């Protein structure tokens, strides 16, 4: 079946088209070529492709636009972006938009190229393999689509020898993601070294990073290797990179450009091969604009940028994290596992979590130890979380009666859960203040109008999902946790014309 696969090659250089055509035909596949975006669009109407190789820069089109078109017209078609080093950042953006991978010109390793082409035809097997790797590493991703897309991009970036900048608020798991990048990279058999740039003074920072010679400053009684030398052939994670001094930034730039540096007080040039991953909880671009960070270094670090969403934007994953931390802490402290009551879990979901996953982890560990019963209830939670206790019933039966499904639904899909819940409660309250059943109430008309509103809301949610996935019904269904058939059913049901009574 794979031997019948048809590949589309889109590149304005005919030599590139000829190269891939020959390679693919040698492997028993069929190749169709296009030199422009317009030609690519025409081919998409005439053929069904398994994989498309698309150049980022074409005379009449942008490769990212062609990627979107392919995913809209033929969502099952995998897309490999062809790029030069100067456009690697755009290639990484393409991966986050749904591209399978990217390959750089000139094509040096033909065997690696063949493996990439074969992998594009076995996406399911590769996905399952990576999923197993995540489970073995204890790397929780959850159901949040932003995080799923982020990790999908990270998996492909990991095997490239490029620097990665991870940005996110304090406690979102930047080092966890960095360790995952290392674990699925070609350097996974080498050490992962983590270094916090904000933990040292300006003088000590340079010495810790690059080492020093004996007598180079007061107290330098012997020659010392810096962390860059220790990270040779390995992965070096530099956290709080925005805290690096100007002098250290200059040296960092040189290492990134040449792989060379001088120890403090040294005269002999050191040469290293290090994969660098950096992280910051600030907006590094703003630091550059304020002249607090070197612009040239920023562009060197920002080749591949990954932005971790805060926990308040991942509310659908909170229960998953809570269960994980409960089991982990119970096993570590050798105490019986407990569970949160529904009321306590609702408050956990309402909390903003400024400290993100780290705060959640510490909170679970604390309440597990301090709670007295076999359940963790509202009174066991810290004061900062209990302050979110607004009209939460204390009796379980009352809670079940007063906590309709919409409260849980809203708490799962948005950080504005409390506001939406309050609005809905006010709507219900106003509705029953206005309705006077004794004077008569047209229940059928009301039910019809509510149904029309519901259909309209469902249609808009599905249309938003289709827009975010460029009309890819398979991916849109995945975002909504339904099957593609169910998505089509809802579209047919809600979009059909209203039949007059």
Helix (H/G/I), strand (E/B), else coil: 466? helix
Q: How many domains is the chain partitioned into structurally?
A: 4
Let me know: does 256 contact 300? Beta carbons within 8 Å: yes
Judge if 294 and 170 occupy the same domain. yes
Does residue 127 lie within any of the structural domains? no
- For residues 37 and 170, membership in a common domain is answered with no
Does 395 share its domain with 454? no
Domain end position, chosen among 431, 449, 481: 431
Residues 370 and 411 placed together within one structural domain of the fold: yes
Distance, in Å, from the CA atom of 233 to the CA atom of 266, rounded to the nearest integer, reads 22
Last residue of a domain, one of 121, 153, 188: 121
Per-residue pLDDT band at 137 (split at 50, 70, 90): low
pLDDT given at position 309: 92
Q: What's the token pair of residue 11? A: 């590149």
Residue that has been written with the tokens 């019933």 in this structure: 393
Residue 455 belongs to some domain of the structure: yes
In a domain, residue 130? The reply is no
Which range scores top for mean pLDDT: 101-115, 394-408, 443-457? Answer: 101-115
Q: What is the CATH number of the domain that holds 400?
A: 1.10.8.60
Q: Is residue 106, in this structure, part of any structural domain at all?
A: yes
Helix (H) or strand (E) holding 165: strand 164-167
CA–CA separation, 387 vs 383, rounded Å? 6
Q: Can you tell me the distance from the alpha carbon of 90 to that of 85, in angstroms, rounded to the nearest whole number?
A: 10
pTM over 0.95: no
- Contact criterion met (CB below 8 Å) for 39 and 63: no
> Phi-psi category of 61—alpha, beta or left, where left has phi over 0 and alpha has psi -120 to 50?
beta
- Among 309, 327, 352, the domain boundary falls at 309
Q: In 435-479, which residue ranges form alpha helices assigned H by DSSP?
A: 443-468, 473-479
- The parent domain of residue 298 ranges over 143-309
Residues 53 and 31 in one domain: yes
Average pLDDT, the chain: 84
Q: Over the stretch 249-277, which tens digit does the pLDDT of each residue have?
A: 999 999 999 999 888 888 788 999 999 99
Query: What tens digit of pLDDT does each residue of 436-455 get?
Result: 777 777 888 888 888 888 88
Number of CB atoms found within 10 A of residue 160's CB: 19
Instruction: Answer yes or no: are the C-beta atoms of 101 and 156 closer than 8 Å.
Output: yes
**393 pLDDT band (50/70/90 cuts)?**
very low
Rounded to an integer, what distance in angstroms lies between the CA atom of residue 211 and that of residue 250?
Answer: 15
Estimate to the nearest angstrom the gap between the alpha carbon of 231 and the chain centroid. 26
Long-range contact set of residues 459-465: C-beta below 8 Å, sequence gap at least 24: 459/490, 459/491, 459/494, 459/495, 462/487, 462/490, 462/491, 462/494
Mean pLDDT in residue range 388-403: 44
Least confident residue range of 48-57, 246-255, 263-272, 332-341: 263-272
**Domain for residue 500, yes or no?**
no
Residue 168 neighbours by CB under 8 Å, 6+ apart: 174, 279, 281, 307, 308, 309, 310, 356
Q: Is 310 helix (H, G, I), strand (E, B) or coil?
A: coil
pLDDT at 498: 42
419 and 471 within one domain: no
Per the model's pLDDT, the better-predicted residue between 220 and 23 turns out to be 23
**In the 3-class helix/strand/coil scheme, how is 365-425 assigned residue by residue?**
HHHHHHCCCCEECHHHCCHHHHCCCCCCCCCHHHHHHHCCHHHHHHHHHCCCHHHHHHHHH
Measure the CA–CA gap between 220 and 421, rounded to whole angstroms.
Answer: 62
* Mean pLDDT lowest among 63-72, 92-101, 123-132, 473-482: 123-132
User: In this structure, are 102 and 155 located in the same domain?
Assistant: no
> Residue 50: beta bridge partners?
none
Residue 295 included in any domain: yes
| Of residues 353, 358, 357, the one with CA closest to residue 384 | 353
Asked if residue 153 and residue 284 are part of one domain, the reply reads yes
- Say if residue 276 is in the same domain as residue 393: no
Does residue 137 fall inside a structural domain?
no
153 and 256 both lie in a single domain:
yes
Do 110 and 148 belong together in one domain?
no
Three-class SS of 320-382 = HHHHHHHHHHHHHHCCCCCEECHHHHHHHHHCCCCCHHHHHHHHHHHHHHHCCCCEECHHHCC
Q: Is the residue at 47 inside a domain?
A: yes
- Helix and strand tally (H, E) in the chain? 23, 14
CATH number at residue 256: 3.40.50.300
Same-domain pairing of 448 and 377? no
Q: What is the pLDDT of residues 428-437, one digit of tens each?
A: 777 777 777 7
């Amino acid at each position: 079946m794979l031997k019948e696969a048809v590949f589309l090659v889109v590149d304005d250089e005919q030599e590139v088209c000829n190269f891939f055509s020959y390679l693919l035909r040698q492997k028993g596949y069929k190749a169709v070529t296009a030199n422009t975006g317009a030609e690519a669009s025409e081919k998409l109407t005439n053929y069904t492709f398994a994989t498309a190789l698309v150049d980022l820069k074409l005379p009449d089109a942008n490769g990212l636009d062609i990627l979107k078109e392919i995913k809209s017209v033929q969502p099952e078609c995998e897309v490999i972006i062809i790029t030069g080093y100067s456009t690697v950042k755009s290639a990484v953006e393409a991966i986050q938009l749904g591209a399978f991978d990217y390959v750089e010109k000139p094509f040096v390793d033909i065997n690696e190229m063949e493996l990439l082409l074969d992998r594009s035809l076995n996406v399911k097997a590769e996905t399952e393999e990576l999923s197993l790797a995540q489970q073995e590493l204890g790397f929780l991703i959850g159901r949040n689509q932003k995080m799923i897309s982020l990790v999908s991009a990270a998996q492909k970036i990991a095997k490239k020898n490029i620097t990665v900048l991870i940005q996110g608020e304090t406690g979102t798991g930047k080092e966890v993601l960095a360790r995952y990048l290392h674990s699925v990279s070609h350097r996974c058999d080498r050490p992962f070294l983590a270094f916090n740039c904000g933990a040292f003074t300006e003088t000590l920072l340079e010495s810790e990073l690059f080492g020093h010679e004996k007598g180079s400053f007061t107290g330098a009684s012997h020659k010392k290797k810096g962390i860059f030398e220790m990270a040779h052939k390995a992965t070096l994670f530099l956290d709080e990179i925005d805290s690096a001094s100007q002098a250290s930034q200059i040296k960092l730039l040189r290492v990134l450009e040449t792989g060379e540096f001088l120890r403090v007080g040294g005269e002999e040039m050191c040469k290293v091969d290090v994969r660098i991953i950096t992280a910051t909880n600030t907006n590094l671009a703003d630091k550059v604009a304020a002249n607090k960070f070197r612009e040239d270094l920023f562009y060197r670090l920002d080749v591949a940028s990954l932005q971790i969403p805060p926990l308040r934007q991942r509310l659908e994953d909170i229960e998953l994290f809570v269960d994980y931390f409960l089991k982990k802490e119970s096993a570590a402290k050798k105490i019986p596992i407990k569970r949160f009551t529904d009321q306590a879990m609702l408050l956990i979901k309402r909390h903003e979590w400024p400290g993100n996953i780290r705060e959640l982890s510490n909170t679970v560990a604390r309440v597990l130890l301090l709670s007295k019963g076999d359940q963790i209830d509202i009174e066991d939670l810290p004061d900062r979380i209990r302050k979110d206790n607004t009209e939460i019933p204390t009796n379980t039966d009352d809670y079940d009666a007063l906590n309709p499904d919409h409260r849980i639904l809203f708490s799962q899909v948005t950080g504005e859960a409390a506001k939406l819940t309050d609005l809905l409660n006010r709507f219900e309250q106003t509705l029953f203040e206005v309705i006077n059943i004794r004077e008569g109430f047209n229940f059928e008309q009301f039910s019809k109008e509510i149904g029309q509103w519901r259909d309209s809301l469902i249609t808009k949610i599905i249309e938003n999902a289709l827009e975010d996935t460029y009309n890819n019904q398979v991916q849109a269904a995945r975002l909504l946790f339904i099957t593609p058939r169910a998505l089509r059913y809802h579209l047919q049901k809600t979009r059909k014309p209203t039949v007059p009574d």
